[in-house]
Amino acid sequence: MNLDDAKRLDAADPLRSLRELFALPEGITYLDGNSLGACPKATPERIHRAVTQEWAQGLIKSWNSAGWIDLPRRLGDRLAPWLGARPGEVLVADSTSINLYKVLHAALQLQQGQRRIIVSERSNFPTDNYIAQSVVRAHGGELVLAETPEDIPALLDDRCAVLMLTHVNYRTGRIHDMGLLTRWAQQAGALAVWDLAHSAGIVPVDLLGCAADFAIGCGYKYLNGGPGAPAFVWMHPRHEGQVFQPLTGWLGHAHPFDFDSEYLPAPGIQQYQCGTPPVLAMSALDTALDIYDAAQKLGGMRALRAKSLALTEAFIAGVDARVPGAEIHTPRDAASRGSQVSLSLPTGVDGYAVMQALIARGVIGDFRSGVPELLRFGFAPLYNSFADVVHGVDALADVVTSGAWNAPQFTNRAKVT
């Protein structure tokens, strides 16, 4: 695909108007929405209003008058349709790691000590496995890691308490079959916990249809809520009243403003809130979700998914044709692919340096160490275009084939890679 082809595709794109809702820097091709979403143009004004009007003028009255106290539930209701959940089932609160701790603890409680093994995969995002290690230590259990996705079913035996997986693997972009794996886990007597950090707002998710047990995810990747945006948590309604999450903060109390000395958990998902919601951060996420309302009118998830697959397919084809020795680690099968393309380069080519050289040329992806070292390119159909694909492939091909990456300014690794 050349630039003229890309422009024709962009002109016919039903989602093309959404790009204008983002503050994308001129001259930058941003292909890292799987790590940090772009900033919506309306976000600075929304935060400014929250500071200068709701806080500075409304002061503490704004907990009621501006609806601050209801933000966790209101944002959860806005997210719910994109997750295959219903209003009242999703809560926006805390971070992904904290929410994962809550639901893993609750899931092991549901097993009543009869099972204590959490099964995941070694390539799962490290913080998820770290949190799981903490939880099993507290419960006297064990974390067992599958080396490959194909190894998972054999680990779902009568010792397994919980299957914990990230729906879209952060390294490869491979999608797990949520419905199938949830069914297998539950048939073995285990519970299914899903991390939707790389799924929410970008691939179809049907939590209720899959009968999952718990789910968590973040708001700062494809949802574009900003760095460190609040996370979300979901519990299947069948578990309501059977188990309580361990971080019993005051806003998870059934009557927080009665200021009782004894904790009484709120019904449903509300008990998964701990402390005071971060109003400014939630205001930013609230604004970002306005763009998803606009996307819903332009075809919704079906349109987003179709464009995502077209963008990643075009990028894979471009890399195959123009980047010698590059190995694609993301599934080529569309049904198994999220919205990113991960690739490695031949031995002797420093992937980190290649990414830094790309960034210097205005093409931003990211780098992940490990075996193999991967360059990741995330495609956000809300704002990425087919022209972005061409610019990305052009820059990558030139940096690799010219050896431009092999310069001192690109090889010195920063704290954040």
Q: Is the dihedral of CA 280, 76, 126, 320 positive or negative?
A: negative
Q: Which helix (H) or strand (E) holds 117?
A: strand 117-121
What gap in Å lies between CA 12 and CA 386, rounded to an integer? 11
Q: What pLDDT is attached to residue 211?
A: 98
Total residues belonging to the chain: 417
Q: What pLDDT is attached to residue 396?
A: 98
**5-49 per-position pLDDT tens digit:** 999 999 999 999 999 999 999 999 999 999 999 999 999 999 999
**125-179 per-position pLDDT tens digit:** 999 999 999 999 999 999 999 999 999 999 999 999 999 999 999 999 999 999 9
What gap in Å lies between CA 42 and CA 62, rounded to an integer? 21
3-state secondary structure 204-230: CCCHHHHCCCEEEECCCCCCCCCCCCC
Q: What pLDDT is attached to residue 417?
A: 82
**Kind of pairing, strands 29-30 and 363-364?**
parallel
Q: What pLDDT is attached to residue 14?
A: 97
Cα separation values, 289 from 61, 126, 161, 227, 242, Å: 25, 28, 35, 15, 32
What gap in Å lies between CA 366 and CA 378, rounded to an integer? 9
| Helix %, strand %, coil % of the chain (to 5) | 45, 15, 40
Q: Which of 376, 393, 416, 380 is nearest to 171 (CA)?
A: 376
What gap in Å lies between CA 167 and CA 81, rounded to an integer? 17
Average pLDDT over residues 174-198: 98
Instruction: Quickly count: other Cβ atoms within 10 Å of residue 114's Cβ.
Output: 10
What gap in Å lies between CA 81 and CA 295, rounded to an integer? 13
Average pLDDT over residues 293-303: 98
Query: What are 415's two structure tokens?
Result: 């704290």
Q: Is pLDDT of 113 > 90?
A: no
Q: Catalytic residue positions?
A: 125, 195, 220-221, 376
Instruction: Quickly count: other Cβ atoms within 10 Å of residue 224's Cβ.
Output: 28
Q: Is pLDDT of 274 > 90?
A: yes
Q: Is pLDDT of 287 > 90?
A: yes
What gap in Å lies between CA 282 and CA 304, rounded to an integer? 24
**331-356 per-position pLDDT tens digit:** 999 999 999 999 999 999 999 999 99
Alpha helices in 228-299 (DSSP H): 279-296
Question: Which residues are within 8 A (CB) of 238 and not within 5 positions of it... i.e. 6 or more apart?
Answer: none
Q: Which helix (H) or strand (E) holds 192?
A: strand 191-195
Averaged pLDDT of the chain? 97
What gap in Å lies between CA 8 and CA 262, rounded to an integer? 64
- Whether residue 227 is preceded by a cis peptide bond, meaning omega within 30 degrees of 0, is no
What gap in Å lies between CA 104 and CA 114, rounded to an integer? 15
**43-66 per-position pLDDT tens digit:** 999 999 999 999 999 999 999 999
Of the chain, the percentage scoring pLDDT greater than 70 comes to 100
Q: What pLDDT is attached to residue 7?
A: 97
What gap in Å lies between CA 388 and CA 392, rounded to an integer? 6
Cα separation values, 315 from 6, 250, 364, Å: 11, 48, 14
Cβ pair 244, 106 in contact under 8 A: yes
> Which of the 8 DSSP states describes residue 40?
B
Cβ pair 203, 308 in contact under 8 A: yes
Instruction: Quickly count: other Cβ atoms within 10 Å of residue 261's Cβ.
Output: 4
What gap in Å lies between CA 404 and CA 320, rounded to an integer? 20
Query: What are 403's two structure tokens?
Result: 């050896």
Interhelix angle for 3-11 vs 386-402, to 10°? Answer: 160
Q: What pLDDT is attached to residue 246?
A: 95
